[in-house]
Amino acid sequence: MLIQQLKQAISETVSEFMTYPVDFLYESDIQSLLFAKLRHEMRDVRFRSEAKDVQRFFKFVPNINPVKTEYPLSLNGSRARFDVAVLSNQQDPTLKIWNQFCRIAIEIKLWQPDGTGALPFDDLKKLQTYCQLCNSNKRAFTGIAMLFVHPGAEQWLKSISGIESEVSFPYDDVAFHVVGSSRWYEVR
């Protein structure tokens, strides 16, 4: 069910970007919309936190919505963050509430028509490394790196090599999506 909700939220975000790309001047504009769409799709998804510090900090054990932004990775003290994340409902009681494992993570990059914007490969590597960590801990993880490309910046897409295919929303893997003004595809 989570993957279907993810697919719906991403599809709506992509559709809005493709219709009104200039409404999105910064990555944070896309991140905010995706967060809102995903939070709406998962508005009824809540779980009881089992984190070690939750009772001490909050004085009760809350049921929380798992959709977060700028969520820190639980990778050996890494300072890296995911743009949008959905926490795993399998909480680790040895970790703090704000450092739990993610079930889903999305990384976003935006290429602007003046040529500014970063390549998505570091984000893709971050998701792949996290997926390996989750797999070694017997946890499911879906990661999606998304490159949004403004009209006028599509000329730089030749720097992205790979096989283009229909987009996928893997259950326990990482995908790389490219979203242009008229096309949305996956690069493998």
Spatial separation of the C-alpha atoms in residues 149 and 126, rounded to whole Å? 21
pLDDT in tens, 9-33: 999 999 999 999 999 999 999 999 9
Which positions ≥6 away from 165 have C-beta within 8 Å? 185, 186, 187, 188
pLDDT-wise least confident of 108-112, 142-146, 164-168 = 164-168
pLDDT in tens, 132-160: 999 998 999 999 999 999 998 988 888 78
Residue 71 φ then ψ, to 5°? -85, 130
Sign of the C-alpha dihedral, residues 106, 166, 147, 19? negative
Mean pLDDT of the chain: 91
**pTM value?**
0.92
Q: Which domain holds residue 174?
A: 2-187
